[in-house]
Structure 1
Amino acid sequence: MFLRDLITLTSSSFLTYRMRSFLTGLGIAIGIAAVILLTSIGEGLHQFMLSEFSQFGTNIISVQPGKTQTQGGNVGIFGSVRPLTLEDADALRRLPYVEHIVPSLVGNAEVKFQGRTRRTMVLGEGRDFGHAFTMKVQSGSFWVDADNEQARALAVIGAKIEQELFAGTNPLGQYLRIGGQRYRVVGVMESKGQILGMDMDDTVFIPAARAMELFNRPGLMEVNVSYRADVDANTVIRILTERLKERHGREDFTIISQEQALEVLSSVLNILTFAVGALGGISLLVGAVGILTIMTMAVTERTAEIGLLRALGARKNQVLTLFLGEAMLLSAMGGVLGLLIGIGIAQGLHWLFPALPVHTPWPFAVLAELTAVSIGLMAGVVPAMRAARLDPVEALHAE
């Protein structure tokens, strides 16, 4: 049997039983479409979260009060946590490899200007905030006062605050009240949009020392450390740990690098993407059952044809190849149809809902198509072997 004859016999089966072949391929197509759609949404969410997390900048290490791991047991007064202070931040500023130190805390306050009032998020930050993070000042600048104890009442406002409170007025040099206290506006941030659910345009930045007073907090929420790009994060973490242990007497703080946080986030999102893909893959099992059923019926219906082929000299392995090729071609065509449907629906959802992150991972698409072909191969093995084992004389009698 020549290759041309093999292709002709395989395609003739599809043409003869067009509706049956279409419905069988549709079962595979639905499974592939489900896999592609779910993994596209999962991968889109993955990339969206990583890009959002990375918008704050790179080479950042966060120092937070309190130890995330405890030994258990009641340690009494020795278990009290010493807060992170501005003095701690200044001590870290003088360490090797450290470029910028940003003491930080966050709160919510009412902001007023000439009769206009808005309740918004207030971030208490250090003077190096604009250098450490990928956030730029559109006009004006951040404060440069290095004296934390005598931090002046200065504020940098977000783009939305400028629009809502200072419409038609240059905010630089103007005074606004934050939580009842008077601040002078020295800068306006570039529009940044939302990052991890926080609207950075609807935000006011003030010195960390002022924020501690405004919110009546004894310490900082965290200290962000920006370090040199050519230095390993673990080296910087070791130096930070040693200095803070000298000041606190013990390790009552937690240090998390941006690299570690991104690795954890990426692994969690990878598991999520794989999980939703696996859920869609269940539909492929239904398609496999459909192919197995159709191929079993095809062997029964084409018994005489098989007998004639065997009588004309076709070998067992050629009959086996014929039915296996038919099953694989059927599943491959269904897989291609499923890819088109899945990608089409995913892009359609993104077009209808632009905020929905959608990204089709092509490795998943290729894997899904290979899986479809493999399913066709496995589902067609038993019927194909049955066809190859038929006795030519008995098969011809079936006519």
Structure 2
Amino acid sequence: MNATWLSGLLRRRPLRIWGSAAGVALTVAFLALLLAFVSAGRANMTLRAAQSVPVDWQVLLGQNASVSEAEKAVRAATAVKTVLPVGYADVKGFRATTGTGASATTQTTGAGKLLGLPPGYAAAFPAELRSLVGSTDGVLLSQQTAANLHAGVGDSVNLLRYGAPPIAVKVAGVVDLPNADSLFQAVGAPKGLAPQAPPDNVILMPRALWDSVLAPQLLARPDTVRQQLHVRLATVLPNDPGRAFALVGKLANNVEARLAGSAVVGNTLGAKLDGARESALYAEALFLFLGLPGALLAAALTFNVAGASATQRLQEAALLRVRGASDTRIVRLGAAEALSVAAVGLIVGLGVAALLAPSLAGTSLDLTSVLWPALTGLALALGAVLLPTLAAVRSSSVVAQRQAVRRTGAPLWQRFNLDFILLMIAGAVFWRNAAGGYQLVLAPEGVAKASIQFEAFLAPLALWLGGTLLALRLMRVLLQRGVLSRLLSPVSGRLSQIVAAALERQGPLLGRGAALVALAAAFALSTSIFNATYNDQARVDAVLTNGADVTVTGNAAAPAGPQLASLKAIPGVADAQPMTHRFAYVGADLQDIYGIDPAHFTNVSHLADSYFKDVTATQALAKLAARPDALFVSQETVNDYNLSLGDAVRLRLLNAKTNQYQVVSFTFVGVVREFPTAPKDSFLVTNAAYLAQITGNPVAEVALLKVSGNPQAVMSAAQALTSTLPGIQVTDLNTVRGRIASNLTAVNLAGLSRIELGFAALLLAGATGLVLALGLAERRRTFTVLNALGAKPKQLSAFLNGEAWAVVGFGGVFGLVIGLLVAQTLIKLLQGVFDPPPEAMLLPWLYLGVLLLSAVVSTAVAVAFAKRASGQKVTEVLRAS
């Protein structure tokens, strides 16, 4: 009998079966893709964290520790790719005399670091050193040390040792230390202390020479000489960054235990995985929060599809009972329908997810991505299809089951004012978090740390649900005959009064349909706006890091400025502007100073208002242009030196003509928080023309290129053009964006956006078309009778268009308002995610147009379906009913 029953349903009620199965399939596919994306995101964060670490472990050895024993302990604890011993030593400073005759000058630095690198170090740990000038073998000066000593390749530098006389060495090259923070980390320092700044003066040399040079100092001051093992692990890490963090920590502890306290492991990889672990927690919360409403919406669609057939189910249960079917038999038939819906929904949903997962989520479905969505789909099918059958069985009599119209009071949620309660919760949470300067993600300077408060998610979620319930309450007012007749006059014409009276009787059903449309529209709108704003801010963040579409970064020895005309002539370059990047002493603190042309800088780069304090970007540029010596200072420097607007700031800058530092006065005109290519902490911004005048050096070190063509082609051409210049570096926006994509402020939502936005369009189409089609199908008896009584097509269209307008029009308008509010709430609460915060919401007009088109098309199809169904013969419709 089950097979006969299902066969009859497929023939007579196909929309009910396939509609419910479609809702289950959407829910299952959406959840499966979402979980696959989260799983791929975790694995990607772990991989990026491991790849971004220059040295996995820095094992600091005690004074009496044996290098060979320490290396043996490391290799015994885990699989290792590379272990190399590095010597660290403190020295009093460095001294160099440059020039000849009367122009000879002597520069002496303060305390510095002397590193001894073993053979093959640069190849084993390539991220630690970047060659600028000369060779990578021999004695190497860091870039800042070379600038402080005015020394270059071939010059002699005296090492001022502790407990031993100075000794001269010859410079073979100048290098940059991109990861100086980790290279000079305080291994074994107590947790909670601020990370120490890397030294300004560093010289690197071969380990054999280091041993020879430091031998006298080791005897006199052994406390100033230390050794570290730099380790690259070969351990296979779990995909989850939390599990990877725990594993790496255990392995580091194992090494320390094997060495019995004679060494301390500086677990750089563990610190990075710790940040990735918390970033993954944030990303998972963000993904689930943006995706969970979609899953709830798909489930609501399924329940609405099943609920639209409630009258049919009551009639079917009554007919079965009249023909002698027991309650158990009726429940079994309902269970067979539910299981059939679940089977079709699971097969279609998981099949679609398996096909789309590699392209949308970047991975294949795993057990977790299949199991939980499958269980959810099964529960959804049973709840949506079987529960109405159980309700019909519990009815007291056949007459009660056949009763189509019942008196109903206000729903329970309305009697308890749940909509107002949810809106008050949303307002209170939003006010508490936004007014209190709350940030979902807190990232202290120097170390990526995340502090997540999940209650912040209550605000947009409560607003989404509470706004929809309020819309449902308002629908009761709008569906009253007097109000509705005026609203329907554009689509129902002179029949608006009659159509309004008919729709008023269907108020609860139409209200539920409109509420579902509002939910779908609000979800699609808020998700698309948030994702568009987020992705645009990721681009802005990349511009902040790189400076422009393509940036050519030179140095004092090989500036990019002289190549500006040639760079501008590259095909695809729309504009090119120079930017001066040098160093200035603020008191004893050496800081980056940037010189720009305020009239043309924004031709190639982007300046947000949030970069400056109390002024807009336009006003800041105007302040720079108003006076040559204008200086913008970072907030940290303002706090450290207690500066006030209008103060004279005296900086020490290197004069190109005298090769000496000279004191130059600037006027403090404002605070700059962020600036393209600048570091996060302390830096200065001034006019390039004034900087060139006072230093006697008009050449800019950096060239910023605005690209109208292919950035990769422009970058390749710029690299070829500057290939003969030592130490010059060319970077493009896309490369930088990919590199920073593992940071808290640049989680890549591209895959999630495609998943969410695609399903949002399907859900909106389903909410408008499928629900409307089901509602119209339930009333095809009425429409067919009207047709048989002589209703003209235009008159029949007035009823159909009126119902479509009530469901889709009202629901769409409410969804538009709710979606905009939810999107604004999301962006406001997640300001800490953006770097810099967005200045306004970004509306994805193309996608919104696609949404509108999908809603219109699905509505038109549903109305056309109802018109065709109303043309059937009355006897056929009555027999089918």
**How far, CA to CA, are the matches of 1:306 and 1:237 in structure 2?**
67
Aligned to 2:513, what secondary structure does the other structure show? helix
Of 43, 47, 68, the residue aligned with 2:532 is 43
Aligned residues: 328
Q: CA deviation at 1:25?
A: 1.1
Query: Of the two structures, which has the highest relative contact order with CA contacts closer than 8 Å and spacing of 6 or more?
Result: 1
Tell me what 1:123 maps to. 592
Q: Say whether 1:298 aligns with 2:779.
A: yes
Helix, strand or coil: the match of 2:558?
A: helix
Give the one of 624, 627, 638 matched to 1:162.
638
Q: Secondary structure at the match of 1:385?
A: helix
| Gapped regions of structure 1 (runs ≥ 5) | 65-82, 143-154, 177-181, 207-221
Deviation (angstroms), 1:30:
0.4
1:271: how far off? 7.6
2:808 aligned with 1:331 = yes
AA paired with 2:778?
M
Question: C-alpha separation between the residues in 1 aligned to 2:760 and 2:670?
Answer: 42
Q: Distance in 2 between matches of 1:189 and 1:227?
A: 28
Q: Residues 232-381 of structure 1 correspond to what in structure 2 (within 5 A)?
A: 240-241=718-719, 243-246=721-724, 254=730, 256=732, 275-284=755-764, 286-287=766-767, 288-299=769-780, 303=781, 305-314=782-791, 319=796, 322-323=799-800, 326-327=803-804, 329-349=806-826, 355=837, 358-361=841-844, 364-381=847-864
Give the aligned residue type for 2:650. Answer: G
From the superposition, tell whether residues 346 and 91 of structure 1 become closer, same or farther in structure 2 (CA, over 3 Å): closer
Aligned to 2:178: none
1:76 counterpart residue number: none
| CA distance, structure 2, for counterparts of residue 97 and residue 284 of structure 1 | 48
For the 8 Å contact 1:140–1:186, the answer to whether it is kept is no
Q: 1:306 to 1:261 in 2, by over 3 A?
A: same
Q: How does 1:138-177 map to 2 (within 5 A)?
A: 141=629, 157-158=633-634, 160-167=636-643, 170-173=647-650
Offset at residue 36 of structure 1 (A): 0.9
Distance change (3 Å), C-alpha of 1:124 and 1:25: same
Gap change, CA 1:183 and 1:260, over 3 Å in 2 = same
Check 1:111–1:281 CA distance in 2 against 1; reply closer, same or farther (3 A cut): farther
Structure 1 pair 282–246 and aligned structure 2 pair: CA distance change class (3 A): same
Deviations 1:104-139 (A, max 9, x none): 589xx99766xxxx8xx94365x6677874575757
Question: Is the aligned partner of 1:203 residue 2:683?
Answer: yes
Q: Does 1:86 align with 2:562?
A: no
Matched residue of 1:358: which SS? coil
CA spacing shift, 1:86–1:124, aligned 2, 3 Å: farther
Map of 1:65-76 to 2, 5 A cutoff? none
- Identical aligned residues as a percent: 14
Q: In 2, distance between residues paired with 1:41 and 1:344?
A: 11
Q: Write out per-residue CA displacement over residues 173-213 of structure 1, whole angstroms, 9 at most, x where no aligned residue.
A: 2669xxxxx8846434643333589776842479xxxxxxx
Shift of the 112–323 alpha-carbon distance from structure 1 to 2, 3 Å rule, reads same
Decide whether the 8 Å contact of 2:542 with 2:736 is kept in 1: no
SS at match of 1:87: coil
Match of 2:871 in 1: 388
**Aligned amino acid, residue 203 of structure 1:** F
1:346 Cα offset (Å): 2.7
Give secondary structure in 2 for the equivalent of 1:194: coil
Residue correspondence of structure 1 range 21-36 to structure 2 within 5 A: 21-36=510-525
- In 2, the alpha carbon distance for the partners of 1:94 and 1:376 equals 58
**Residues 120-168 of structure 1, C-alpha deviations (whole Å, 9 max, x = no match):** x94365x6677874575757639xxxxxxxxxxxx98435413431335
Letter aligned with residue 15 of structure 1: E
1:24, CA displacement in angstroms?
Answer: 0.8
Which residue of 2 is the match for residue 74 of structure 1? none
TM-score, structure 1 as length reference? 0.58
Conserved 8 A contact 1:316-1:388: no
The 8 Å contact of residues 159 and 190 in structure 1, kept in 2 or not, is answered as no
Deviation of 1:101 after TM superposition, in Å, equals 4.0
Shift in Å at residue 22 of structure 1? 0.5
Distance, in Å, in 1 between the alignment partners of 2:504 and 2:792 is: 24
Cα-Cα RMSD: 5.5
**Shift of residue 14 of structure 1?**
2.0
1:92–1:39 CA distance, 2 compared to 1 (3 A): same
Aligned to 1:19: 508
User: Residue 194 of structure 1: which of 663, 674, 685 is its match?
Assistant: 674
Residues 347-394 of structure 1 deviation map (CA, whole Å, 9 limit, x = unaligned): 3455667756533445544543443232223344444422221x2466
**CA–CA distance in structure 1, aligned partners of residues 598 and 800 of structure 2:** 67
The SS at the match of 1:172 is strand
Equivalent position SS for 1:63: strand
What are the Cα deviations for residues 329-359 of structure 1, in whole angstroms up to 9, with x where unaligned?
5223221221121123333455667756533
Which of these residues, 698, 703, 706, is aligned with residue 225 of structure 1? 703
Q: CA offsets per residue over residues 24-51 of structure 1, 9 Å max, x none?
A: 1111110000011112212333444555
Greater gyration radius: 2
Which SS does the other structure have where 1:341 is aligned? helix
Note closer, same or farther for the CA distance 1:343–1:105 as it changes in structure 2 (3 Å cut): same
| Unaligned ranges ≥5, structure 2 | 1-490, 570-575, 603-619, 654-660, 687-699, 742-747, 832-836
The answer on whether the counterparts of 1:61 and 1:255 sit within 8 Å (CA) in structure 2 is yes
